[in-house]
Amino acid sequence: MFIFALDFCLFFFQFNPLMARYSKSDNGAFIFKSGLFAILAGFAFMIFNQFAGSQKPPGNAEKPAPSVVIPETSNPESQPENGREPTVPEQILPAPDGEIVRHTYFTLCYSEDDEQASWVAYELTRDRLNDNWVERSNTFRPDPEVHTESATPRDYNGSGYDKGHLCPAADMAFREDAMDETFFMSNISPQVPGFNTGIWRELEELTRDWARRFGKLYVVTGPMLRQQALGQIGFSKVVVPSYFYKVLYAPDHHRAIGFMIPNEISERPVMDYAYAIDAVEKSSGIDFFPQILKGLDEELEGNLDKNAWPVNQKRFEKRIKSWNLGKSAPN
């Protein structure tokens, strides 16, 4: 553009008759032409600057500042939401039949077809139970770690079923974050209110009694999804199980027991629903503690000694008189 303007000035001086006349008359014409040339050159330079300043380079015009890209976790299944390493021993986990989700203090296998966990596994210890308990949070919410998306609290609204814990909140009351994890909806299953506040609560409290007695328990629990369901609830079509199970193994005392309980109010003793682990495996289709109970230990799976698991008769009576009627909050 600048070259074009300069050419224009030269053209002007070469062919303008007035300039030619002044150049022949006297030397003042030279001064006049020089001054006019300077003016026109300056004018051309101004036009060039204005034009050039209004142009934007193609592909680079007003580029926004580059955003910072945060890389995703390399293995999302191995890292809980809070960034802590999982504490659940890998050897206590059943074989997966769905998505494995590892939280800090329990691991679960999520069944997308049923919108709940098929099993939840964790370690329950005397030391944790003897810690000061934190306040119950009741922060029910979807589990962000479930890649296919978990059920939501809204699925349970107006359904007539409780949001029943699989890993109980009270089992994780030794830390606020541990307690908080139990309110992910992946750890929740539809339960009849009198079942949730009644016999299921009694079994949960007995499990804590046994953990204090034996020092440590490995626990695997969940709904029996192979049995005929009671129906579905909510937009997510959450399956309502007809039975729930709980399998316990005391590693330091080499004792094991399983339970299968119908999702209904019961006035029968808890031990009426006790079974050898083999029986629970056949009904649920789940192989419990496959890395622990093998070889000679398989005999433990096929036998049951109820006397090794003492119960509290007063708690049973309280359940019949009060808990079955929902007169006390569940754990």
For residues 85 and 22, membership in a common domain is answered with: no
Q: What percent of the chain has pLDDT over 70?
A: 72
For residues 221 and 154, membership in a common domain is answered with: yes
**Per-residue pLDDT tens digits for 38-88:** 555 554 445 444 434 433 333 333 333 333 232 233 334 444 555 578 899
Question: pLDDT band for position 321 (50/70/90)?
Answer: very high
For residues 26 and 167, membership in a common domain is answered with: no
Q: Is the pLDDT of residue 21 over 60?
A: no
- Classify residue 188: in a domain, yes or no: yes
For residues 141 and 42, membership in a common domain is answered with: no
Residues in the chain: 331
Q: Domain of residue 30: give its range.
A: 2-53
4 vs 303, higher pLDDT: 303
For residues 88 and 33, membership in a common domain is answered with: no
For residues 257 and 225, membership in a common domain is answered with: yes
- Classify residue 70: in a domain, yes or no: no
Predicted confidence at residue 297, as pLDDT, reads 66
Predicted confidence at residue 67, as pLDDT, reads 32
Q: What share of the chain is helix, strand, coil (3-state, %, to 5)?
A: 40, 20, 40
- Classify residue 175: in a domain, yes or no: yes
Residues with Cβ within 8 Å of residue 64, at least 6 apart in sequence: none
Q: What's the whole-number mean pLDDT along residues 115-123?
A: 98
Strand intervals (E) in the chain: 99-102, 107-111, 116-125, 162-165, 188-191, 216-223, 231-233, 238-240, 243-250, 255-262, 274-275
- CATH number of 194's domain: 3.40.570.10
For residues 12 and 159, membership in a common domain is answered with: no
Q: Is the pLDDT of residue 219 over 70?
A: yes
- Classify residue 330: in a domain, yes or no: no
329 vs 208, higher pLDDT: 208
Residues tagged active-site: 165
For residues 24 and 92, membership in a common domain is answered with: no
CB 146 within 8 A of CB 99: yes
Half-sphere exposure of 165 (CA within 13 A, CB side): 25
- Classify residue 59: in a domain, yes or no: no
How many whole angstroms separate alpha carbon 295 and alpha carbon 313? 36
For residues 96 and 131, membership in a common domain is answered with: yes
Question: pLDDT band for position 133 (50/70/90)?
Answer: very high
Predicted confidence at residue 309, as pLDDT, reads 97
Query: Which of 43, 21, 42, 47 is closest to 32 using CA atoms?
Result: 21
For residues 160 and 303, membership in a common domain is answered with: yes
For residues 248 and 132, membership in a common domain is answered with: yes
For residues 211 and 165, membership in a common domain is answered with: yes
- Classify residue 58: in a domain, yes or no: no
| Cα 186 from chain centroid (whole Å) | 9
Predicted confidence at residue 169, as pLDDT, reads 97
- Classify residue 65: in a domain, yes or no: no
CA-to-CA dists, residue 226 to 109, 126, 266, 325, angstroms: 15, 33, 22, 29
| Tally of domains in the chain | 2
